[in-house]
Amino acid sequence: MIVEQPVSSLFAEYLEKCGLRPASVAYKRRACDLFIKWFGDLPVKQVAPATIEGYRAMLRKTGRKPHGRSQVSVRGYLDNFRPFWRWLRDNGHIDRDPFAGIRIKVDELPRREGFTRAEISLLLRASKPLERLQNCLGLLGCRRGEMFNIQVRDIHLDVACPYIMLAAKEASAKTWPWGTKNHQIGLVALPVIMEFDGLTVGLTAEIHQRMTDLAMDPEGYLCLPRERVDKMLEWQREGVLRWEQISDPYGNFGGRFRQLQRRAGVRRTKRFHELRAAFTTSMFDANMPVTRVAKAVRHQNIQTTMKYDRKSDMSLVADVAQIAASAYVSKC
């Protein structure tokens, strides 16, 4: 008698063989755990398109918010669960992918509000030295997790065009493991100075000073205070270090960043990720081709890059208004 394999055992095999980043593994596990919670640990061959439709409906109805999950959150779970079923089909575990024909659509959402140049200036003026370094790296396109995991060995100042190399890390006595998004090696350009409405930041000089403070230790963490590094390494020794802590060693960096904005006088607080959007927008303002902007911010899809252009909608409105103002005037 052939015993059909359940979702849980094949999902564990899928994670083991696919070499995913810890962040991706955790997200995919949540997606699978919800499926099993709602539908049971079914044999994979019994999962039909109707089951996946039911899964999508449950995602919509449940969640922390009273009205259920947002469309973006629902799509995130579906996008992270779909590859498992494709893998099952490709490896002969199922004959038909139950996700085939399931359309994952999200209504067009307005772009998030970005930082103005004046707000960025306020933010940098109110920042302490380590905060200023973190924020400047955000304004050079670094994601939060990328910024926190930069080490002295990644920094190259003694070259014509200084830069930081974003590369995966292995666990050691002084380093925790970290994987880059999409397993890519990234390069972050480091201007010698950065200007912010009258404020000048000598960026490479500040980075060099920070490296000196770290005794030029190759494994020293550029953007983290010593106490946070010690705590992370302690958790690693105890075997309780999770990817969420690697992404945010402070535990509540978002809250700290909002406090900094309030201290700086920014009236409507925003995410740290909006500094990355400000960087992307500045590249578009300088007429850099979208393909090169995508490469600079390490996006695989230029459509994703276009969403980071915080000015495009209002620029279109301004251009249309200017044209429409005189479009109907008689030319005779």
CA distance 213 to 119: 30
**Whole-number Cα distances in Å, 121 to 133, 139, 140, 267:** 14, 12, 15, 14
Q: What is the pLDDT of residue 208?
A: 98
Contact (Cβ atoms closer than 8 angstroms) between residue 43 and residue 5 = yes
Contact (Cβ atoms closer than 8 angstroms) between residue 115 and residue 278 = yes
Rg value, the chain, Cα: 23
Contacts of 247 (CB under 8 A, 6+ apart): 23, 144, 145, 148
324 sits in the region (left: phi over 0; alpha: psi -120 to 50; else beta) called alpha
Q: What is the pLDDT of residue 322?
A: 75
- What is the full DSSP assignment across 276-311? HHHHHHHHHHTT--HHHHHHHTT-S-HHHHHHT-TT
This prediction's pTM: 0.79
Mean pLDDT by 10 residues, the chain (332 residues): 80 90 87 95 94 92 80 88 94 92 64 86 96 96 95 96 94 92 86 92 97 97 97 96 91 95 95 94 90 91 85 68 73 60
Q: What is the pLDDT of residue 106?
A: 57
CA distance 62 to 56: 10
- Which residue bears the tokens 């994952």? 104
